[in-house]
Amino acid sequence: MKSIKRYLPIALLSAGVSIWTSCGPQGETITEEAIDTTYSVQTEKLLINVDTLYSEFENPWGMTWLGDARMLVTERKGEILIFKDDKFTGEKVQGLPAVHAVNQAGLLDIAVHPKYAENGWIYIAYAKNFPDSTAATTIMRFKLEGNTAAQQEELIVAGPPWKGGRHFGSRIVFDNEGYLYFSNGDKGNIPMNAQDLTNAHGKIHRIHDDGKIPTDNPFVNTPGAVPSIWTYGNRNPQGLVFDKANNRLWEVEHGPMGGDELNLIEKGKNYGWPVISYGMNYDGTVLTEITEKEGMEQPVTYYVPSIATCGLTLVTSDKYPAWKGNILIGALAKMHINRVEMNGTTAGAKEIMLQDIGRVRQVSESPDGYIYAITEGTGLLVKLIPIR
């Protein structure tokens, strides 16, 4: 008789565990570890409850809210799960485009238009398949008709298409004027893509909400340059957040072995990859001899060793007074949420929170002011509830 054991995330075990056995549908013995879905954590400045809302994700990537108690979460393999009132409805969005689900590529971020209540547009970033087995980070939008992705419009393809599945980015944010920004990684095997304005890789891009190119983009009149480029020299940016109160765009990107960066993204600037870096090659050899160069931006803060920075959010909610103004960054390899204290554009102390909760792919602040996170490995959707 087969014996099966179901494991819970390491980070949840501190709440207290009881063990029992039961019989599965084929007569096998199932050993389960039972635990409350909510547990308390004392962080440096705030006591929080961590409420586990869902635990069956494979590779979740992005999340957004529709304003009617519904929440959408993307799975990299090409699915969008529909939640309502913090519970999975059992339903998924139908009719989505095919995606190139290889390694880090697939269905990536999701965001709603700032005027979603008026126009109903939902935006996704995904790796689009091409006939020669290449793919490119692509932005499209659609409207929900029931649970179907209708009125699909492909807005921009960040090419040229590339083989493999490394360093596709990608995040989507809107600024106060309704411009859409998205990130695209350097595709991995040719780092100097990020310094080459004739391709879209290793860049942050800016477009109108309908895909048109703004006439005031920094390289729109540069011969041969991709006109959507806003910044360049960005290795693999998997986190973007826009600070509406201060009109600032923040980004996190993966370094190689060391040198993950938090950057303040500003028009036309060069963020240095791979000419300058605080990291090294994965085999331990020297990547570059320099960490600074005139005309290239320094990160606001960086991580050595790498934590594998991914999604991020800016805490604006009054629900977390001790964190307000801080940046929260998901850590994939180091499996935690990294809290960075901010004084304007200057980074201060960092705190490791929820160690071993899983590979944190995204951290987001909901419209009603709560912090949510999604994880790989442990497959979680959690909600952080402050205890006053």
Q: Are residues 143 and 229 in the same domain?
A: yes
Q: Are residues 92 and 125 in the same domain?
A: yes
pLDDT of 243-291, one tens digit each? 999 999 999 999 999 999 999 999 999 999 999 999 999 999 999 999 9
Which amino acid is it at 144? L
Joined together, the tokens standing for residue 334 give 């180091």
Q: How confident is the model at residue 30 (pLDDT cuts 50, 70, 90)?
A: very low
Q: Is residue 137 part of a domain?
A: yes
What's the pLDDT at 38?
A: 80
pTM value is 0.91
- In DSSP terms, which residues pair with 252 in a beta bridge? 239, 262
Q: Is residue 45 part of a domain?
A: no
What's the pLDDT at 260?
A: 98
Query: What does the buried/exposed string (b/e) look like for 347-383 if buried means 16 or more CB atoms within 10 Å of the residue's CB?
Result: beebbebbeebbbbbbbbbbeeebbbbbbbbbbbbbb
- In DSSP terms, which residues pair with 21 in a beta bridge? 31
Decide if 167 is catalytic.
yes
What's the pLDDT at 29?
A: 43
Q: Above pLDDT 90, what percent of the chain? A: 88
Q: Are residues 90 and 131 in the same domain?
A: yes
Q: What domain range includes position 28?
A: 1-36
Q: Among 2-11, 34-43, 239-248, where is mean pLDDT lowest?
A: 2-11
Q: Are residues 18 and 115 in the same domain?
A: no
Q: Is residue 309 part of a domain?
A: no
Q: Are residues 147 and 191 in the same domain?
A: yes
- Asked whether residue 314 carries a pLDDT value surpassing 50, the answer given is yes
End residue of a domain, out of 302, 321, 338: 302
End residue of a domain, out of 302, 333, 365: 302
165 CB neighbour count, 10 Å cutoff: 18
Q: Is residue 329 part of a domain?
A: no
Joined together, the tokens standing for residue 72 give 């959408």
- Indicate the SS3 state at residue 12: helix
The DSSP H or E segment spanning 136 is: strand 134-145
Q: How confident is the model at residue 23 (pLDDT cuts 50, 70, 90)?
A: very low
pLDDT of 325-360, one tens digit each? 999 999 999 999 999 999 999 999 999 999 999 999
End residue of a domain, out of 302, 332, 364: 302
What's the pLDDT at 37?
A: 65
- Asked whether residue 299 carries a pLDDT value surpassing 90, the answer given is yes
Within the chain, residue ranges assigned H as helices are: 116-119
Q: Is residue 195 part of a domain?
A: yes
Q: How confident is the model at residue 124 (pLDDT cuts 50, 70, 90)?
A: very high
Q: Is residue 163 part of a domain?
A: yes
Of 167, 201, 205, 336, the catalytic one is: 167
Q: Are residues 112 and 204 in the same domain?
A: yes
Q: Are residues 292 and 214 in the same domain?
A: yes
Q: Among 1-5, 52-56, 107-111, 228-232, where is mean pLDDT lowest?
A: 1-5
- Asked whether residue 3 carries a pLDDT value surpassing 60, the answer given is no
Closest to 126 in 3D by CA, of 148, 143, 142, 150: 142
Q: Are residues 133 and 65 in the same domain?
A: yes
Number of domains comprising the chain: 2
Joined together, the tokens standing for residue 336 give 């935690």
Residue 197: which region, alpha, beta or left (left: phi > 0; alpha: psi -120 to 50)? alpha
Per-position DSSP letters for 295-336, written without gaps between them: TBPPPSEEESS---EEEEEE---TT-TTTTT-EEEEETTTTE
Q: Are residues 23 and 114 in the same domain?
A: no
Q: How many residues does the chain have?
A: 388
**Residue carrying structure tokens 């899983």:** 358
- In DSSP terms, which residues pair with 260 in a beta bridge? 303
What's the pLDDT at 306?
A: 97
- Asked whether residue 21 carries a pLDDT value surpassing 80, the answer given is no
Q: How far is CA 351 from CA 46, 339, 348, in A?
A: 12, 5, 10
Q: Are residues 86 and 145 in the same domain?
A: yes
72/121 Cα distance (integer angstroms): 13
Q: Is residue 15 part of a domain?
A: yes
Q: Above pLDDT 70, what percent of the chain? A: 90
What's the pLDDT at 1?
A: 28
Q: Are residues 290 and 147 in the same domain?
A: yes
Q: Is residue 144 part of a domain?
A: yes
Q: Are residues 24 and 145 in the same domain?
A: no
Q: Which CATH number belongs to the domain containing residue 138 in this structure?
A: 2.120.10.30
pLDDT of 368-378, one tens digit each? 999 999 999 99
pLDDT averaged over the chain?
A: 91
